[in-house]
Structures are given as structure tokens and as C-alpha cells.
Amino acid sequence: MIKCNKLAIGYTDTVVVDEIDFSLKKGDFVALIGANGAGKSTLINTLTGIIQPLKGTVNWNVQTQSKNPFNAVGFSPQSQLIDWYTSVFDNVLQGPLLAGKRLSEAKKAAELALKLLDIEKLKDKAVDHISGGQQQRVQIAREIARQPQVYILDEPTTGLDVETSEKLFLYLKYEVKKGALVLTSSHDLTLLEDYADKILFINEHKQQFFGNLSDFLADGTSLRAKYLKERGS
């Protein structure tokens, strides 16, 4: 569904990560890992078209009846991307409506997403009257309510408690089993190890590893220990 070929990413004359080559397909749950500043968000923003590649290509293959194939993508960036002048419910409702769902179907999807992120009681509040962590939940709930084919989530567990983070990843794993593609970064390496099946590791301006989690952890260490070892920490 997403293929990168000889990709270099960054800004103007500054290369953040070079030599990126990978293919992601339906049914993949991919953990994007790397140190702060390694280029995880830059890569995600390049995949979603916010930033243009410095060289190489990013190719998408998403089968959808919509005129806009990105209606099949749920994207939650690190920075908050919400409508500050609506309620929590209306914010979440925008996701499925913009994805082309009928109002009745969109309302049902929004209610389910609010419940999953444990923010049903906030549904009538203005988003600028809730906490930053709650705003993060609203943003993720909106993308879940889209019921997309592809989930691209940049640090979705920031501001979430352990229980909600686990509920979110369990839901994403369920979506993967139905054929969705999930690409997510997170500082919670234990959580990633429990749910992801593939690793995309970037470090020192290069793609250091892409493949099965089991191959990355072939020496029997935990994801956190392996990650720190590979970083030289």
C-alpha cells in the first residue's frame, strides 16, 4: 500500500534521513522507532505529503471509491490538528463525514471512537476547554471514526494513560487483522513490542532496519534493550 524507493527526506539542503527503502502492505502493524530528532515525524510527514521528498519516491496504492484516496487514511500528527471552534463530538464527527460516510453512520462511528478513547463524557465540551491530553484523545478518536484502511499515528500514546494506550493498540491490532495497515511511532517500546509485527528503525540519518519484529529481536532481548544497544546508548 505504501512503497518508498531510494528516499531521502529533510528540509531544503538538510538531509534528515537518507537511503530509505521499504514496502508496507495490508495487515502490517509497523512500529517506527528512533531517537528524538532521528526523523520519525519528518518521515511520517513525507509519507502523508506534508513535506516533499528531497529525492526518491513515495508511492501509494489504496483501493477506494472516493475521488480522494486520502479519505482512506487516518492521520494523527504529533502537533494538534483539531478544530478549535467546535465541541468534542463535532470534532470527532468531522472525521467520518469528511471520509464520505452518511450522517447516521458517521454519528455511530464517532460515538464508538469517543467510547474507545474514554471521552464520551466530554462530548459536549468545547475542545479549547479541555486538557492537552484530552485534546490528543479527540484527535485520535476523529481518525479512528473514519474507519480508514491506513492508520498513520505519530506518538499517539503521548498524554494517554496506560489503560487507554492499551485499548487503543488492541483496537489497532483488531483493525490489522481485518486488513488495515498501521504505522505508528511511540516512546512506549514495551507497548510496541506487544502489538507490532514489524520494525522500521531509523538512526544516524539512515534506515538501519526494516523487517519482522522477531528478526529484530533474534538475540532474545526486549525491544527496549535492543533499541538502546543499536543506538549505542
Q: What is the CATH number of the domain that holds 42?
A: 3.40.50.300
Tell me the C-alpha distance between 180 and 178, whole Å.
6
Q: Which residues contact 147 (CB under 8 A, 6 or more apart)?
A: 96, 99, 101, 109
The pLDDT value given to residue 211 = 96
The pLDDT value given to residue 46 = 96
The pLDDT value given to residue 84 = 86
Tell me the C-alpha distance between 201 and 199, whole Å.
6
Please spell the DSSP secondary structure of 35-69, one letter per residue.
-TTSSHHHHHHHHTTSS--SEEEEEE----SSSSG
In-domain check, residue 128: yes
Contact (Cβ atoms closer than 8 angstroms) between residue 46 and residue 57: no
HSE (side-chain half, CA atoms, 13 Å) at 54: 15
Domain boundary among 115, 148, 181: 148
Domain boundary among 132, 148, 164: 148
The pLDDT value given to residue 233 = 64
In-domain check, residue 99: yes
In-domain check, residue 92: yes
Q: How many residues comprise the chain? A: 233
Output b/e per residue, 95-126; b: 16+ Cβ within 10 A: bbbebbbeeeebbebbbbbbebbbbeebbeee
Q: Say whether both 130 and 173 belong to one domain.
A: no
Domain boundary among 148, 169, 187: 148
Tell me the C-alpha distance between 179 and 205, whole Å.
31
In-domain check, residue 13: yes
Q: Is 212 helix (H, G, I), strand (E, B) or coil?
A: strand
pTM for the structure as a whole: 0.93
In-domain check, residue 159: yes
Q: Say whether both 57 and 154 belong to one domain.
A: yes
* Predicted confidence pLDDT, tens digits, the chain (233 residues): 899 999 999 998 899 999 999 999 999 999 999 998 999 999 999 999 999 999 999 999 887 766 677 788 999 998 888 888 899 999 999 999 999 899 999 999 999 999 999 999 999 999 999 998 899 999 999 999 999 999 999 999 988 999 999 999 999 999 999 999 999 999 899 999 999 999 999 999 999 999 999 999 988 889 999 888 888 76
Q: Which domain holds residue 16?
A: 1-63+150-233
Q: Say whether both 88 and 49 belong to one domain.
A: no
The pLDDT value given to residue 67 = 67
Contact (Cβ atoms closer than 8 angstroms) between residue 159 and residue 76: no
Tell me the C-alpha distance between 11 and 106, whole Å.
37
In-domain check, residue 69: no
Q: What is the count of structural domains for the chain?
A: 2
